[in-house]
Structure 1
């Protein structure tokens, strides 16, 4: 079986555009590794950019996008199960699976094979943790030492709570977890990374957010609320959905919402890069692409490099 071809990068780095061009050239199908793009009706805020799946005259098949209704729950364990099914299906068609996304924890779970996502929910613990600020949650997690500390994605409040939940379970059930959640071999992969210069990334985030606010982001959140989702459910999804909901609830002015949201997206991109660097420390090799290359040049480089490495392994 050929290695997975993985394209990762922080928000606004151009992953989807690049991945679809690569798919077009190698007969690939894209598998999304994004924790929010699984939800139907959450398009603008999650940056699905579905128009980019038609490239060079071809429509690229995509997977794990729009598979759940907004308001449902999804986690890394469900992602792993769905990925196995989709990956097998693509292989049976003799197509090339191309993983694309910015949820580092999901990608890490494929390559390192951990299954901590199946650790059960502790509703009592979650209820007690809701009383803590994000800073207090981060401090508590840092003091809850387990084998999960170096793997956890703590980029949002909900993920911090889940990280504490998993760590405390691992500490309380060392024998059980050794058997149930031990390290399983992950997929072999060749990973390509997009990492723009800080100012370039910041400019892209600012420009993209302005465009989204002007082209339907607020209306998208209004529609989700009108369909029956509660404000609490939308705030749970973080970033765009959190701050636009707060604006619609009258908790923030339009200017405050835009400013706070932009700041949080910048911080989110920084946390994504921190997690990718953590992946490298964990032994995963990420081939960072030259940011000065055009998207077509990057695609050409990936295709040649990937095919060359696959041939050398035969």
Structure 2
């Protein structure tokens, strides 16, 4: 099977930074597995890699759809696998980076889908269905430290202009997946004058923390072969990852 590396973990755990480091070291290209970074104009609220970061490493599956468009896990599966094939054909290493567990399952083959409109073939995912030789790197962190990082990141998003960005997304007519993203949906009541900005920011932080908790529960229950690392230690020195990649014949 084709060899790929997957970096997963909760929001704000440092996946983007590690992905860039590995990409530089291993002559790789990054494939985003984020359900909302696929949308253009949703840069701040999705913590999308900055232009500077995207110059440091090639990123795929980012900014491929407008927020007014719908995009299914099935379509993501097809598109991301095609990108992986192109990366491998260039002689480079595919590095999958993201926290959207369901998207990751469809990409890897753990959860098999029939078509874009039909339900799952089997509601139970299994690594026995996997179509890649994948090394799964999980980023873990003490919960109180993770929550502190989430709160700080939301504050920075507000300073970076999240309010204006969210207003443009919320104003798009219709029920759309893009408008359900954390960091955008919480602003609806604020723009209608039913909630203060301070309360809205608190709601974003709360929803982000809850999402991080759900992510970790999903990863631990659904992916039985994750090799977990301490996120803060890897941020200082990623050498442990290279050792494990070599031991597992992934280099």
TM-score by length of 2: 0.89
Q: Give the number of aligned pairs.
A: 249
Write out per-residue CA displacement over residues 189-229 of structure 1, whole angstroms, 9 at most, x where no aligned residue: 1111011100100100110001111211001122335xx61
Write out per-residue CA displacement over residues 2-44 of structure 1, whole angstroms, 9 at most, x where no aligned residue: 4210100000001001110010001000000000000000000
Structure 1 unaligned regions, length at least 5: 123-145, 152-182
The equivalent of 1:288 in structure 2 is 228
8 A Cα contact 2:70 2:176, kept in partner: no
The equivalent of 1:99 in structure 2 is 96
Query: 1:89-168, aligned counterparts within 5 Å?
Result: 89-116=86-113, 118=115, 120=117, 148-151=122-125
1:301 and 2:240 equivalent?
A: yes
d(CA) in 2 for partners of 1:311, 1:212: 36
SS in 2 for 1:211: helix
8 A Cα contact 2:44 2:157, kept in partner: yes
Q: Go from structure 1 to structure 2 and tell me whether the alpha carbon gap of 1:82 and 1:240 turns closer, same or farther (over 3 Å shift).
A: same
Q: Go from structure 1 to structure 2 and tell me whether the alpha carbon gap of 1:117 and 1:217 turns closer, same or farther (over 3 Å shift).
A: farther
Structure 2 unaligned regions, length at least 5: none
RMSD of equivalent CA atoms: 2.5
Q: Which has the larger radius of gyration?
A: 1
1:207 and 2:152 equivalent?
A: yes
The equivalent of 1:81 in structure 2 is 78
The equivalent of 1:163 in structure 2 is none
The answer to which structure has the higher helix fraction is: 1
d(CA) in 2 for partners of 1:13, 1:117: 32
The equivalent of 1:160 in structure 2 is none
The equivalent of 1:238 in structure 2 is 181
Q: Go from structure 1 to structure 2 and tell me whether the alpha carbon gap of 1:185 and 1:288 turns closer, same or farther (over 3 Å shift).
A: closer
The equivalent of 1:24 in structure 2 is 24
d(CA) in 2 for partners of 1:311, 1:243: 42
Write out per-residue CA displacement over residues 152-172 of structure 1, whole angstroms, 9 at most, x where no aligned residue: xxxxxxxxxxxxxxxxxxxxx
Write out per-residue CA displacement over residues 221-269 of structure 1, whole angstroms, 9 at most, x where no aligned residue: 22335xx612744774232110123311223211221122211111110
SS in 1 for 2:219: helix
1:61 and 2:58 equivalent?
A: yes
d(CA) in 2 for partners of 1:297, 1:23: 15
Write out per-residue CA displacement over residues 93-122 of structure 1, whole angstroms, 9 at most, x where no aligned residue: 100000000001111223334333625269
Deviation above 4 Å: which 4+ runs of structure 1? 146-151
8 A Cα contact 1:243 1:261, kept in partner: yes
Write out per-residue CA displacement over residues 171-199 of structure 1, whole angstroms, 9 at most, x where no aligned residue: xxxxxxxxxxxx85422211110111001
